[in-house]
Structure 1
Amino acid sequence: MNEEASYLPVELDRDSTFYVAGHRGLVGSAIKRKLESAGFRNVVGRTSAELDLRDRDAVFNYIRELQPRYVVLAAARVGGILANNTYPVDFLSDNIRIQVNVLDAAREAEVERLLFLGSSCIYPKFADQPIHEESLLTGHLEPTNDAYAIAKIAGILHVQAVRRQYGLPWISAMPTNLYGPNDNFSPTVAHVLPALIRRYDEAAASGAPSVTNWGTGTPRREFLHADDMADACLHLLEHYDGPEQVNVGTGTDVTIREVAETIADAIGYTGDTHWDTSKPDGTPQKLLDVSKLAAAGWTSGITLRDGIERTIVWYRKHAHALRGL
């Protein structure tokens, strides 16, 4: 077994092949846009129809042929409380296979620099707030998305194992709740913010007198625009190295009720909002400690109101062609 190699982060070569797994999703598409705007000239990806990342042989063949120097693993099966709670086997099985296949193939190809993207749901349900990276594996997970969280935890440990056994300077980043262009606005699998945008926009368009949201509206959540996340990813690849995952967020949170009010106001909806308290709230608070990220030299630049307004504009422009609509 090799000892972990010493690596000094440097500016990435803009001419080298950079594979973004999941390049059409919320995070992957933002990363692809960021890389291209930063001057990378060979950013590549494959749609799920072109390459099923659950197919091990297909993934290995693709990586062997491509021989990327850099990889961001943003591909994942994702969804909100309803989807995670209803299909835990799918979320566990699909994500484990995607991660193991891409990480093993990248290791065989000796990919120089890889960033694995997880989720803040990896942390215990009742972790001290704000949540430090050291809270990982210190308590019970939120039951409504524990299968997805276990898959993401496995990915973090996989990256750490590669560092120890093969000395490759791979890293992991754990984003808070993300939103923005190319999000999933489906009524059955969307996360809370895009679901609220769709709900209020449709209510405004139809003249509905009221909107009903899940839960009490009291849980506190932190939200980060996908373009900010993409900027942080490139910054970490060029400025950070270490085995511990890095939290990526704004360092501030709001209640779900406040998010709903902001969205309703930005859309121009003037009807009433009701809360169905028979539905689950999920974790009472989830705020990340982002001091490690700040120490690496990065802070968020897009405010929640500005990010919501941008996302509403994008949603209205693309609603006819969105997933699940």
Structure 2
Amino acid sequence: MITLILPKLIRGVMTLLIAVTLVFLFIRLAGDPALVLAPPDAPPEVVEQVRQRLGLDQPLPVQYFNYLVGLVHGNFGYSVHTGRPAQDLFFERLPYTAVLGLVALGIAALCGIALGTIAALNHNSPLDRGLMAFSVFAFAMPNFFFGLVLILIGALVFGNFFGGTGGAANFGQVFAPAATLGLASMGTFARFTRSSLLETLNKPFMRAIEARGVPYSRQLLCHAAPNAAIPIITILGLSLGGMVAGAVVTEQVFSWPGIGQLLIRSVQTRDIAVVQFIVIAVAFTMTACNIAVDFLHAFIDPRIRTARNG
């Protein structure tokens, strides 16, 4: 078990370190943050004071080392606009993004897997072609355009704004942005489910099971579904990790008070500490989801455990 866990943890730590390094370099090499944070007509002395207060007057390697030391001690920096810790601003918005992402993932997974299964069981039929055409449309549709269409429908048909209000949200205010966010993932789930299930159904062991007289429903549920689930679980893990990062545009369109909106505002105002913490959190989520997916693969398919132990 140690040989299975340790390499993945090392790769995860290296991935996070690379993400931290890249965002640190990009923010500072894109321009002098002190010029943005200082007042527009500030004299050079004030700009230099801002630079010293943020530690931007030190050499870049020293800034990087100090930042890594701060991360190890749980010091992720403070927002230059509110003076609050960056992690507090993040966790304040996290419940909104979590609700939006989980509902979107539920819509995408349930609808996508159902459509892909129906298409696979009706292979080469008009229904199959129609469902696959819809999945390609869903994957290709820009989420900002689909979101604007839903907002117009809500305003003109239902007389309601399908977006965030900062307070208690009704069903439409959650479902509309969640459907927008999950639309592309739904198309991905449908296409992967169809291809994986078709590949499994055409394998020799499935024909052998059919020759033994196993009922068709049991063939699908007990034999085809578990073997076809591995690529679907991979997409599920990647989609779960990408919901935080993928919600940026959707939250802007629907004025949803989540992490994506916080990231946009922090980038616009060059709030360095907040941007860095959000990127670290997204990278950690993606890495953790990938590691969890690998463990699920080993749990579902004994051949993976056998190959790794060997």
Question: Could you state the TM-score of these two structures normalised by the residue count of structure 1?
Answer: 0.23
Higher strand proportion = 1
Instruction: State the structure with more CA Rg.
Output: 2
More helix by share: 2
Q: Normalising by the residue count of structure 2, what TM-score does the alignment of the two structures yield? A: 0.24
